[in-house]
Structure 1
Amino acid sequence: MLLQIGYELLWDVPSPAPAIVKLYLHPSQLPRLKQPECVTVEPEIPIEEFIDEFGNRAGRLILPTGRVRLWNHAIVEDNNRPEPVNPNARQHAVEDLPLRTVPYLLSSRYCEVDLLSEIAWQLFGQTPPGWARVQAVCDWVHENVRFGYEYARPTKTAYDVYTERTGVCRDFMHLAVTFCRCLHIPARCAAGYLGDIGVPPCPLPMDFSAWFEVYLDDRWYAFDARHNIPRVGRILMARGRDAVDIAFATSFGLLNLVKFTVWIDKVIEDIAIG
């Protein structure tokens, strides 16, 4: 199955503003490309591309005064199968974890392990360790947090989500990630494209999606506390400790978002791939 993906962002920039954007596919996704990405800025300005400390592709640029349009388009191959499910995946003892996974046990800007540890053990301490425990976390967050764009705010943390019981997909992600870390399961945040493939269409406007990955049985597995079912066509853009590391745009100056459009659709047969 082929998927066409892309986005269009339009900003009103009052004065020149340096920015870091993570609006590329993650390097792990490049073998899936059937039509290369084409990240374009209008007016044409240089982008200094680099790989960040988490392995994400990123770009540094200076947005000029006025209207700035940034868009991208690519075609990606997908195996048309849901993400792997392994109910027997075991949980590692902390002392046996690979060192590279240990940072994903710790508190971060939006994931307050210290504030939620006692709560996490009260809620999930009796569940079997491993896959079942992560699934119990997803079930609880899915059932107890109400989704709505009106509940979004940039300063909202996992503890806020727990107390308010509302949020957008990144808030579901932050709370589930924090609970997993409290339970000594390495968990990292992820973001990218997720279309309505094999599920009823969502009536809300298309957006980028946030989910998370946990380290069990010597590998990382994807989980999604908002949707709480394995999905087809998830395409990774960025990974990190929390939303700070996977933000699609971080500006060092004022940006007013005028337009934000994201798409992911099946490619119909008469579209030429070149």
Structure 2
Amino acid sequence: MHIRVGYELIYDCPQPTPMLLSLHIHFTRASDLVVPDHLITRPSVPITAYRDSFGNWCSRIVAPKGELRLSTDAVVNDRGERDPVVPSAHQHLVPELPEETLLFLLGSRYCETDLLSEAAWALFHTAPLGWGRVQAICDFVHQHITFGYAHARATRTAWEAFNERVGVCRDFTHLAVAFCRCMNIPARYCTGYLSDIGQPPPYSPMDFAAWFEVYLGGQWHTFDARNNSPRIGRVLIARGRDAADVALTNTFGPNTLKSFQVWTHEVSGAL
């Protein structure tokens, strides 16, 4: 299966503005790129590429004064299969965990494990260890939070989402990640493209999506508290502790986001 993915972001800057961009498809999908996701800027500006501390591919630019258009239009080869479900994946005791997973047990900017630990143990201590416990967390978060773009707030934390009970996909993900960490399950935040392939209409407006991965049974597995069902055609962009680590754009100066478009859909026929 071939999936077309891309975006167009238009900013207006009253002065030259440095930007850090996390918009490239993750290096683990590099061999799947049929048409590369080159970052195109209009007007053209110098771009410096780098890898962040989590291994994500990122870019640095200085946006000129005035309007700046950032875009890409790529094609990705995908297996066309739903997210794997592995009910037998077991939970590791903390002393058995690989060192590289330990960071994802700790609290972070948007995932306050200290505030949520008591609630997490009260809610999930009877859930079966491993896959069943993570699924119980997803079931709870999926029912607990009401989704709506009108509820979006860039500063909302997992603790606030738990109490306010509204949010968008990043809020579902932050709360589920925090609960998993409280239950000693390493969990990392993911952002990327998620199509409606295999889903019945009506379809929501397309956007970048957030989901998470947990370390069970010696490997990382995908979970999605917002949709709470295996999906087809996830295309990862970046991973981190929470949304602060994988912000699509970080701007260092005043700016206005004038337009925001994302697309991801199956490509039919020859390219």
Task: Give the TM-score band, short-chain normalised.
Answer: over 0.9
Counterpart residue type for residue 8 of structure 1: E
What's the TM-score once normalised by structure 2's chain length? 0.99
Instruction: Tell me the SS of whatever aligns to 2:244.
Output: helix
For 2:107 and 2:255, locate their aligned partners in 1 and report how far apart those are by CA, in whole Å. Answer: 29
RMSD: 0.8
**How far is 1:201 from its partner?**
3.3
**Offset of 1:34 from its aligned partner?**
1.0
Unpaired stretches in structure 1, ≥5 consecutive residues: none
Report the Cα distance in structure 2 between the residues aligned to 1:183 and 1:232, rounded to whole angstroms.
28
Figure out how many residues of one structure are paired with residues of the other and give that number.
271
Aligned to 1:164: 164
What SS does the corresponding residue of 1:246 show, helix, strand or coil? coil
Report the Cα distance in structure 2 between the residues aligned to 1:150 and 1:106, rounded to whole angstroms: 30
Indicate the residue corresponding to 1:205 in structure 2.
205
Q: Distance in 2 between matches of 1:220 and 1:230?
A: 15
> How do 1:12-31 residues align onto structure 2 when only pairs under 5 Å count?
12-31=12-31
SS, match of residue 100 in structure 2: helix
2-side partners of 1:203 and 1:128: how far apart? 34
Structure 1 residues 103-153: Cα deviation after superposition (integer angstroms, max 9, x where no partner): 000000000000000000000001111000000000000011000111111
Q: Equivalences for 1:135-174 in 2 at 5 Å?
A: 135-174=135-174
Runs (4 or more) in structure 1 with deviation over 2 Å come to 201-204
Q: % of aligned pairs identical?
A: 51
Helix, strand or coil: the match of 2:87? coil
Q: Which residue of 2 aligns with 1:215?
A: 215
1:218-270 CA-to-partner distances (Å, cap 9, x unmatched) read: 00000000000000000000000000111000111122111110001111214
Which residue matches 1:245?
Answer: 245
Asked if 1 retains the 8 angstrom alpha-carbon contact of 2:196 and 2:203, the reply is no
Amino acid at match of 1:169: C
Give the aligned partner of residue 100 of structure 2: 100
> 1:110 matched to which residue of 2?
110
Deviations 1:153-208 (A, max 9, x none): 11100000000000000000000000000000000000000010000235431000
Q: Residue 4 of structure 1 contacts residue 265 of structure 1 at CA under 8 Å; is this kept in 2?
A: yes
Distance 2:269 2:151 in 1: 40
- Contact preservation (8 Å) 1:196, 1:202: no
TM-score (norm 1): 0.97
Task: State the partner residue of 1:225.
Answer: 225
- Rounded to whole Å, the distance in 2 between the matches of 1:205 and 1:140 is 25
- The one-letter amino acid of 1:4's match is R
1:80 match? 80
